[in-house]
Structure 1
Amino acid sequence: MKTLLASLLLTLPSLAQAGDYDGMVRASLLPGWRLPNGDHMAALRLELADGWKTYWRTPGDAGIPPSFDWRASGNLEGVFVSWPSPDVFWQSGMRSVGYKHEVTLPLRLRLRDGHRDAELHGVIDIGICKDVCLPQRLEVSATLPASGAKPDPRIAAAMADLPYGAEDAGVTSVDCEIGPAQRGLGLSVAIDLPGATGQEETVIEFRDPELWVADPETSVRNGQLVAKTRIRHMANPAFALDRSAMTLTVLGGRIPVEIRGCD
């Protein structure tokens, strides 16, 4: 993946030194509230200067993938990041997926002891882009009080902006066809999605971080939304594709939809 990331960075419109653009993004933690089962809801808030954007979990070939390091935290076992519905951007003929202005990423935290305060410390590596694209490293810290029980409306609003599940969106079938392609496999996904317009963009992900997935070509054919892509393994030219491990996200249409697995 490091080799792939390096090659992608070389294709970005222009890379600059982060020090030349300090202050283009600001990060903070919303301490949130303690849940009845002992987990804690918090959020990472990113605020961007005018005209700047940052990237979604799968940023596209023109984006920089975000990463999070929470190892310096106290009373913490795990962090699950939720991703509100992003926008699709085009720059220099390349697609990226992300957010502009600001974004709040809900964090569900599993604690070692749900009756005690927790200390959340994160080192966040993200990319930001305007006329130039550059990586940014941000550090955030906050105390998460065990006594906090009142939900934060900013976090609740971000949770409400997550993509719909397939059932809630009225998806009735998701069919996959897999065949050989140059240096990998070709994948075509046909979705029965009510209200599809042909203006949608799709993102296809797999759990295996060594799989590279091209930005899909998306269209409406015979009443179905069809996404076609190419997949290759970064280390092994011969590989099996687990279709149940696929996540397909539909953006830019009537509603955002996240679909897991296919027939």
Structure 2
Amino acid sequence: MPRSSAYLRAMTRLCLALVLALTTAPALATTQEDVLSARLRTGWQMEGGRHMAALDLSMAPGWKTYWRSPGDAGIPPAFDWSGSRNVRSVRIHWPAPSVFELNGMQTIGYHKQLILPLEVTPIDPAQPVSLAVKVDLGVCDKICLPATFALQSGLTAPGAPDPGITAALANRAATAGEAGVTHVGCTIDPIADGLRLTARLRLPDPGVPEVVAFETADPEVWVAEATTTRQGHDLVAVTELVPPQGAPFALDRSGVTVTILAAGKAVEISGCPAP
């Protein structure tokens, strides 16, 4: 299948990083237990019977894990809630992540500790709720390890306030309105194996470099690392989208999420309308 130049560059960087990781790996074996610990914070009951809990990950110094859109070489986390009882849905509230550079590659994630708030909606608020999750993720330093763990806990009412969860919720991405975004316009151009997406976003300049991450409604679509420039009051970000079939496709503009990361803060924009 033909691939775009952006895809080939990303694969080249990934291969290089794997080679460097192997050549710099420590002589002693490193296990998941050495670098990662996890627990559930049971939190408190909210209005309407919903419950705010959290997944609490602690990592050894120098180690990190990844955001939902991890960048060129990151490993996206996967969550399985099927072992839960009396749970209709779980909504994850992602705190603003950090941007990392390693061996010329950009990844997005968290280091030291990640408290990931979980908004749990029960099937029957009057009945006990048991939250169970199996998590697959990656943790990386100079080498990367796949990690898997399972956690389970009852969520009792009313629970108690949790300052860690509250702080993580306060560190969420700002909405477009909260961040002063006054215009969003996206143009789409076909390329040999997909689409080139150019977003022009009008919002205040933070005065520091900005990183833009694009996500589509279809997780099978590969998204290239975006290039960004400032043109007057506008932030212009360009990426390439490559679907599994390796050909131009119909993009659901309403399903595109654009996240701007700068100075430890995030802005999340839903939808990518035509100019």
Do they fold alike, i.e. is TM over 0.5?
A: yes
- The amino acid that maps onto 2:31 is Y
Matches of 1:89 and 1:182 in 2, distance apart?
30
Within the candidate set 122, 134, 142, 2:153 is matched to 142
Residue of structure 1 equivalent to 2:161: 151
> Within the alignment, does 1:38 sit opposite 2:52 as a pair?
no
Structure 1: 5+ residue stretches without partners: none
1:224 matched to 2:229? The reply is no
Name whichever structure is richer in helix by fraction. Answer: 2
Q: Percent identity?
A: 42
2:95 is paired with a residue whose SS is: coil
Deviation at 1:12, TM superposition (A): 4.3
Mapping for residues 89-238 of structure 1, pairs under 5 Å:
89-148=100-159, 150-197=160-207, 199-235=209-245, 237-238=247-248
Q: Once superposed, which parts of structure 1, at least 4 consecutive aligned residues long, lie more than 4 Å away? A: 7-12
Residue of 229, 241, 245 corresponding to 2:251: 241
Return 5+ residue gaps in structure 2 as ranges.
1-6
* Range with bigger deviation, 104-113 or 229-238: 229-238
Is residue 198–residue 219 contact of structure 1 (8 Å, CA) maintained in 2?
Answer: no
Contact 1:71–1:122 at 8 Å: present in 2 too?
yes
What's the RMSD between the two structures over aligned residues? 2.0
Change (3 A) 1:174 1:196: farther
Say whether the 8 Å CA contact 1:28–1:140 is kept in structure 2.
Answer: yes
d(CA) in 1 for partners of 2:15, 2:133: 28
Amino acid at match of 1:99: Y
Q: Deviations over 1:61-90 (max 9, x none)?
A: 110010011111111111111110000001
TM-score, normalised via structure 1 length = 0.91
Alpha-carbon distance between aligned partners in 2 of 1:120 and 1:253, rounded to the nearest angstrom: 34
- The CA distance in 1 between the partners of 2:153 and 2:125, in whole Å, is 16
Q: Map of 1:59-78 to 2, 5 A cutoff?
A: 59-78=70-89
Cα distance change, pair 21–47 in 1 and its aligned pair in 2 (3 A) = same
Following the alignment from structure 1 to structure 2, what is the Cα–Cα distance between the partners of residues 113 and 219?
49
